[in-house]
């Protein structure tokens, strides 16, 4: 039996802090979980509260699409949001200026926006013809466009700069800071298991700002999961291998994703998983990945993140991988309370009891990933070599990225 869980249908509806009854503008500080246990009846109202978004264009039916930004609680509590964001910006700018990026070809940068209509009256942004809205988040919306140049579909994040500049997320930062950091991070990245940023459109004379992303035509990793059995071990294994490959690449480049969860993990039509949404990600100069900020999504939050103290971002990412694996296998959350504090209490204090017929290798993997002590938690390197993950495919291969190949070429010529 499970200590507790929630159906896949409800999992698809739950995203982030806003779904627990806290919107972008609301704050709660110094949450400290209690230590007593006990099961609680899930209050569906806390999972279904909709995030209200102001739009300057026509309203369309919102789809719970994986490209949606995390509606992360971003209060002005300086204790929870200190220097890492600024440090990330400085590091990213330095890497960009010194060509220390992991892309053979840079992201296209466009400084002119032409808004028009095609022959059928569909709205256009430069070469892109609008088709439909596919997601929304704290800062803007995500729209499906088709390029008139190559005929391909793209997911475009659209923002209003004036709106972002008014949203204060810290004493010295606005929402524009977060978006700017997300763009800089994605400009660095190039990996088959990470959503690719294709173009940034930023006209200094216009209020609109666009991120043109590759469109993943498939689904998200939890689609089709249900009780009992979730996705099944074979599909979950294949997805996990891609997730681990992409996340190992990020961590090797000192990038902490910060919000690994099923609806930020897109599956292409051919079954490849791609990690998306870097809106709360951070980058570090070295292995010192200490963070002190509110986590991205409560039910995927590591125990050490629930105490309001500093924690290591990479091990917190690894915990989120464990929660994601659990969801894929069992179609339920491992820890879920009827309030945010109740959820944190369960994350800190509850022990998972897996069904007796669980594959012993799978049980060992889940126990290792969901180890409450971050110092004892299974590392991604160990996960990549774990017998359940290896299966018949072998160890998760290391991706030799462009910057490593480039450094090796320079080393060989010297």
**CATH for 69:** 3.30.200.20
| Token pair in block for residue 370 | 């969901």
The answer to whether residue 238 is domain-embedded is yes
The answer to whether residue 25 is domain-embedded is no
| Residue segments in the chain with a per-residue pLDDT below the cut of 50 | 1-66, 68-86, 225-228, 408-414
- As a whole number of angstroms, the distance between CA 256 and CA 233 comes to 27
Q: 173-174 and 197-202: which strand pairing?
A: unpaired
* pTM: predicted TM-score of the whole model, two decimal places: 0.76
pLDDT tens sequence across 376-414: 999 999 999 999 999 888 788 777 666 665 554 444 444
The answer to whether residue 389 is domain-embedded is yes
Task: Please give the pLDDT value at position 397.
Answer: 76
Per residue, what are the HEC states of the chain?
CCCCCCCHHHHHHCCCHHHHCCCCCCCCCCCCCCCCCCCCCCCHHHHHCCCCCCCCCCCCCCCCCCCCCCCCCCCCCCCCCCCHHHHHHHHHHHHHHCCCCCCCCCCEEECCCCEEECCCCCEEECCEEEEEEEEECCCCEEEEEEECCCCCEEEEEEEEHHHHHHCEEECCEEHHHHHHHHHHHHHHCCCCCECCEEEEEECCCCCEEEEEEECCCCEECCCCCCCCCCCCHHHHHHHHHHHHHHHHHHHHCCEECCCCCHHHEEECCCCCEEECCCCCCEECCCCCCEECCCCCCHHHCCHHHHHCCCEEHHHHHHHHHHHHHHHHHHCCCCCCCCCHHHHHHHHHHCCCCCCCCCCHHHHHHHHHHCCCCCCCCCCHHHHHCCHHHHCCCCCCCCCCCHHHHHHHHHHHHC
Question: Catalytic site residue 263?
Answer: no
Instruction: Give residue 309's domain range.
Output: 219-403
CATH code (residue 253): 1.10.510.10
Which listed residue (259, 277, 317, 345) is catalytic?
Answer: 259
Task: Please give the pLDDT value at position 28.
Answer: 33
State whether 239 and 95 are in the same domain. no
Task: Please give the pLDDT value at position 293.
Answer: 64
Task: Please give the pLDDT value at position 25.
Answer: 29
Which one of 214, 244, 261 terminates a domain?
214
- Provide the domain count of the chain: 2
State whether 209 and 338 are in the same domain. no
């Amino acid at each position: 039996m499970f200590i507790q869980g929630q159906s896949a249908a409800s999992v698809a509806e739950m995203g982030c802090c806003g779904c627990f009854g806290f919107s972008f503008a609301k704050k709660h500080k110094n949450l400290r979980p209690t230590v007593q246990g006990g099961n609680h009846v899930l209050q569906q109202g806390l999972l279904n509260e909709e995030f209200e978004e102001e739009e300057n264009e026509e309203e369309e039916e919102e789809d719970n699409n994986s490209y949606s930004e995390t509606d992360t609680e971003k209060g002005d509590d300086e204790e929870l949001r200190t220097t890492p964001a600024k440090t990330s910006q400085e590091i990213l700018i330095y890497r960009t200026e010194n060509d220390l990026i992991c892309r053979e070809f840079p992201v296209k940068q466009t400084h002119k926006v032409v808004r028009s209509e095609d022959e059928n009256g569909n709205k256009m942004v430069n070469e892109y013809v609008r088709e439909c809205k596919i997601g929304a988040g704290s800062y803007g919306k995500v729209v499906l466009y088709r390029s008139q140049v190559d005929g391909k579909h793209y997911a475009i994040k659209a923002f209003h700069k004036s709106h972002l500049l008014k949203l204060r997320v810290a004493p010295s930062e606005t929402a524009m800071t977060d978006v700017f950091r997300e763009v800089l991070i994605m400009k660095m990245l190039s990996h088959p298991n990470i959503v690719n940023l294709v173009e940034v459109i930023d006209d200094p004379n216009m209020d609109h700002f666009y991120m043109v992303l590759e469109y993943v035509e498939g689904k998200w990793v939890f689609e089709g999961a249900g009780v009992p059995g979730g996705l099944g071990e074979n599909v979950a294994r294949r997805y996990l291998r891609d997730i681990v490959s992409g996340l190992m690449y990020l961590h090797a480049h000192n990038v902490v994703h910060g919000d690994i969860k099923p609806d930020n993990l897109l599956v292409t039509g051919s079954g490849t998983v791609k990690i998306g949404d870097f809106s709360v990600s951070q980058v570090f100069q070295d292995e010192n990945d200490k963070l002190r900020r509110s986590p991205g999504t409560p039910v995927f939050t590591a125990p050490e993140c629930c105490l309001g103290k500093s924690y290591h971002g990479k091990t917190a990412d690894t915990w989120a991988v464990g929660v994601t694996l659990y969801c894929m296998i069992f179609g339920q959350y491992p820890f879920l309370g009827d309030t945010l504090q109740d959820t944190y209490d369960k994350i800190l204090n509850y022990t998972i009891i897996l069904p007796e017929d669980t594959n012993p290798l799978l049980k060992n993997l889940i126990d290792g990933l969901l180890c409450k002590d971050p110092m004892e938690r299974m590392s991604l390197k160990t996960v990549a070599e774990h017998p359940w993950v290896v299966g018949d495919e072998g160890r998760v291969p290391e991706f030799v990225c462009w910057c490593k190949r480039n450094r090796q070429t320079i080393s060989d010529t010297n």
